Structure 1
């Protein structure tokens, strides 16, 4: 894994959120600007970009700054803590077994005119993030029938609830269920992403200091993308030897293995800054 990697301004903010969730949130104490800037710098993020990411995150209400003499330190706001706590629960819980599937599908029927492209895009984006796939225009499906309330909330917020319909049912004899799944989700591309994750972190064994902090941050940062990409289909709907299962095992094992050393090094960085 490259120690110096070019990161866009948008990714700088995303990486900052990873650092805040992994190290600042559990510590529950303010952190100096210099600590955050230095850690982001190990990923090739220039100081100016790191400070801009801090400013944007504060402007969105997730951070608040406090000046102490000539220096500035940052604390999570209550909304920021809630956001990161919810994110941590989703990231660290993702990839664990969902139990047996009862074979029932949740189907949502909703169509948006071609002329309303922004609305169509919002609907597609939000339902996709909620784990739904679309095998044919106007039809959205999920094997998780418990997502009815989430889907209903999305439709209500977009003003589409009056036109929508929903059903819960098992797949019948007409057609092929596997073909429907293949049309609804691009599992080939998703599996390639999982294999890339496996290639990047298998065999990576940092021990202490900056390398383990860097590796742990990168591990979480890469893994946090998958809850938005993977609909978490039941095992019987997935290809044989699904790479997602191997990637999940790798993430959870490495995260537990690296966490103590990474947090010890974070504490050393914070302590060094507090001495100045």
Structure 2
């Protein structure tokens, strides 16, 4: 949740946050002061925040690495939704990783999944996003397995059913359950009593979906895909609540 707050309020502001403001925001979420302070220290120790003493107070500044990470995360989160157009091309990734190389297997599995790739079996990944070919290459290089991998961009020519292939690569029913829960949580109309709290909860709930949903083209999705409704709901609520939530954060983060 701390990264949600940093990306939603600190990044578009001046890149700084007083400890008191973070404590006040997290208190609304039901997080104890000790846990919030520990989260700040862990984030600082990981290189994402720098602490600056101003008298008896502490101000936290985003590091350049955090700014890059949050900027990319914001782009992915706020523009996420079903692909609008598709040229019918697929990216195929074939890689051999020894069972003993657990680190490489973890990197490839988690990073390719984050990029929307689905697995058709051991060492074989597919994606309908041809523009993510270089992302796959980068993941393979970072995992240290590029010499045992092949990446292709191609068109599917037939044989087994495309719907069955998609079902084998991605668990879309499970993703749809998550979308339906999101819709149920945030469909209520009107302005919430605590807009900052609800904006944090909204963004925190939505930021999971780029890792869950491969953002398939509409041609590959089931009829009445709830992800489309959820994306529209997120965009509407985020836009409606944004100004008031940022004003409230600015008030909390005031030095006065």
Matching of residue 167 in structure 1 with residue 152 in structure 2: yes
Cα drift, residue 29 of structure 1: 5.0
Whole-angstrom distance in 2 between the partners of 1:124 and 1:207: 39
- Pair 1:178 & 2:163 matched: yes
Cα pair 1:64 1:74 within 8 Å, conserved: yes
Paired residue for 1:43, among 20, 29, 35? 29
The runs of 5 or more residues in structure 2 that have no matched partner are none
Gaps of 5+ in 1: 1-14
- Of the structure 1 ranges 240-249 and 125-134, higher mean CA displacement relative to structure 2 is found in 125-134
2:224 aligned with 1:237, yes or no? no
The answer to whether the 8 Å contact 1:206/1:215 transfers is no
The answer to whether the 8 A contact 1:110-1:160 is kept is: yes
Question: Offset of 1:119 from its aligned partner?
Answer: 2.6
Moved over 6 A (4+): none
Q: Distance in 1 between matches of 2:97 and 2:16?
A: 46
Question: Per the alignment, in what secondary structure is the counterpart of residue 232 of structure 1?
Answer: coil
**2:179 maps to which residue?**
194
- Asked if 2 retains the 8 angstrom alpha-carbon contact of 1:207 and 1:261, the reply is no
In structure 1, the partner of 2:250 is 267
Matched ranges for 1:197-276 at <5 A: 197-203=182-188, 205-207=190-192, 211-271=194-254, 274-275=255-256
Mapped contact 1:103–1:143 kept (Cα < 8 A): yes
For the Cα contact (< 8 Å) 2:104–2:145, is it kept in 1? Answer: no
Cα distance in 2, alignment partners of residues 69 and 204 from structure 1: 44
Aligned length: 256
Give per-residue Cα distances to partners, 1:10-58, cap 9 Å, x unaligned: xxxxx11111111111111532101101111111211111001100111
Highest relative contact order (Cα 8 Å, sep 6+), 1 or 2?
2
